[in-house]
Structure 1
Amino acid sequence: MSPRRRTATAVGILFVAQMVTAIVGTTLIQAYVDGNPDRTRMTLGVALMMCSGIAVVGIGLLMYPVLRSVDRRLAVWYPILRILEFAVSAACGIYLLARSEVVPNHLLWVYIPTAAGGLVLTYVLFESRLVPRPIALLGLVGYACLGLGVPLDLMGVLDMGAGPGQVLLVPGGLFEAVALPAWLIAKGFQTPPAGVLPAPASGRGAEVAPSYSPDRIQP
């Protein structure tokens, strides 16, 4: 198995792991918020959210060299935003353990870097065709819905944790838990078309890049 294939498999597994641990962790924390006094279960919920955050950081670091091969300027933002996502989630978890109460709208603050990082990831995936475009498009729609839902929830227009507001979480959930990991684990990354080249680092690079076109190679 090539290093690129191993990276794809690892990223796919981490996407599933972060989703499962986040769902279970959030459920345990919500039970405490709803009146269950069991601090052990609440603490376990925070620990699972930390595990989810570590998986998120792992995804960002593993994907950076893959995305960088396509777009150097955008690629650097993906691990940064994923690390920020973990930092926000960890801060909310520590606050809960210390104060026995959740940060108001804590999930919404986590969703902000999640949506921003997800848009970077799926845009580069869509442009590069590292995965089939329908999968990347599902992610783009999902993260756009997530980003749109945060201000609507904060303004009281909808509740993303209940009722119709939860619909906004469906496309992103399908992308992260099913579509992308299933493809990466089963197939790995596709080879970008020949026309997809790394973004030039300078104006001079833009002049040099075309010289590497295969049809210019002389025997």
Structure 2
Amino acid sequence: MKTTEQTTQTPKSKRIGSFNQRRAEIVIAALFLVTAAASIPGAFVLDSILNASNYLAQVFPNKGVVELGSLIWSINNIGIVFIAVFAFGLLRKLDEALAVGYLASRIIEGTIMMIGIASTLLLIPLSQEFLKSGAPQGSWFLTIGDVLKQAKFLGLTGLSLPMLGLGGLLFTWMLFRFRLVPRVISVVGLIGYAAVLFGSIVGWFGLIDVAPGGNGTIFALPVATFEIVLLPFWLLFRGFKIPEALERTAAK
């Protein structure tokens, strides 16, 4: 009787594990697409107002647009963390240290970007008081506004992009090392995240403009190809090769 119980439970456990893995792959693929669909329009919605020369006079009258852009960006910020959460359950079976590093980097990235969102929303009451005061030029309102704008830039771009590059390198290195996806996909990811990391650091020195629409956007093209096209669609239709990778690891 004991032998029969173990025999019936073992296949059942494998089916449950396979279902959980497939569910995680679909969720990860969907989140990559959702975060891309949120971050790109969110950036341009906010920048269309905040990049204007008289931005402080425009923020409060267009607070609905600013709030919408902030909401869309927040969806991206939350989504990237959950990508790592769902991937962690799969990746930790292969290399727990790298899996923890990837999860930690995405949590830090998401937190930094939420600080950028908070700075953006603080511009709304500042703009309201600025307009109530008659929009005085050369006032402390403009000084505080410029500081909040810089905090927004650092949170959504300047400081978050290096974390994106670092975390992405950990993730794609695991994809490459354990052959979880075809090598061409993981190589595109490795190149893309390395370009983002390099480009964002170069941007600190003002050599390129890493803001959306700037000349540094070219560094994001390989990552966009990886996150929007290659990886999500591979995960949706094929998935990770987790069992084979685990067998190779155990054999070593």
The aligned residue for residue 147 of structure 1 is 197
Matches within 5 A, 1:1-219: 2-35=19-52, 37=58, 38-100=62-124, 101-102=148-149, 103=151, 104-106=153-155, 107-161=157-211, 162=213, 164-191=215-242, 192-193=244-245, 196-197=248-249
Structure 1 Cα separation of the partners of residues 96 and 246 of structure 2? 17
**Between Structure 1 and Structure 2, which shows a larger proportion of helix residues?**
2
Structure 2 Cα separation of the partners of residues 138 and 5 of structure 1? 23
Q: Secondary structure at the match of 2:248?
A: coil
Structure 2 Cα separation of the partners of residues 73 and 110 of structure 1? 22
Q: In structure 2, what residue type is equivalent to 1:126?
A: F
Q: Identity of aligned pairs, percent?
A: 28
Q: Secondary structure at the match of 1:189?
A: coil
Q: Secondary structure at the match of 1:157?
A: coil
Ranges in structure 1 where 5+ consecutive residues have no aligned partner: 198-208, 214-219
Q: Which has the larger radius of gyration?
A: 2
Runs of 4+ in 1 over 3 A off after TM superposition: 161-164, 191-196
> Structure 1 28/71 Cα, relative in aligned 2: closer, same or farther at 3 Å?
same
Q: Secondary structure at the match of 2:240?
A: coil
How far is the alpha carbon of 1:92 from its aligned partner?
0.8
Structure 2 Cα separation of the partners of residues 127 and 88 of structure 1? 29
Q: Secondary structure at the match of 1:150?
A: helix
How far is the alpha carbon of 1:34 from its aligned partner?
2.2
Structure 2 Cα separation of the partners of residues 80 and 105 of structure 1? 19
Structure 2 Cα separation of the partners of residues 47 and 178 of structure 1? 24
Q: In structure 2, what residue type is equivalent to 1:187?
A: R
Q: In structure 1, what residue type is equivalent to 2:162?
A: I
The aligned residue for residue 204 of structure 1 is none
Task: Report if aligned partners of 2:116, 2:154 keep a CA contact under 8 Å in 1.
Answer: no
Task: Report if aligned partners of 2:154, 2:160 keep a CA contact under 8 Å in 1.
Answer: no
Structure 2 Cα separation of the partners of residues 137 and 112 of structure 1? 19
Task: Report if aligned partners of 2:94, 2:246 keep a CA contact under 8 Å in 1.
Answer: no
1:5-60 CA deviation, whole Å, 9 max, x = no partner? Answer: 11111100000001110111111111121236212111111111111111111101
Q: In structure 2, what residue type is equivalent to 1:54?
A: I
Task: Report if aligned partners of 1:50, 1:90 keep a CA contact under 8 Å in 2.
Answer: yes
**Cα RMSD after superposing both structures:** 1.8
Q: In structure 1, what residue type is equivalent to 2:113?
A: S
Ranges in structure 2 where 5+ consecutive residues have no aligned partner: 1-17, 125-147
What TM-score do you get using the length of structure 1 for normalisation? 0.85
Task: Report if aligned partners of 1:70, 1:196 keep a CA contact under 8 Å in 2.
Answer: no
Q: In structure 1, what residue type is equivalent to 2:227?
A: E
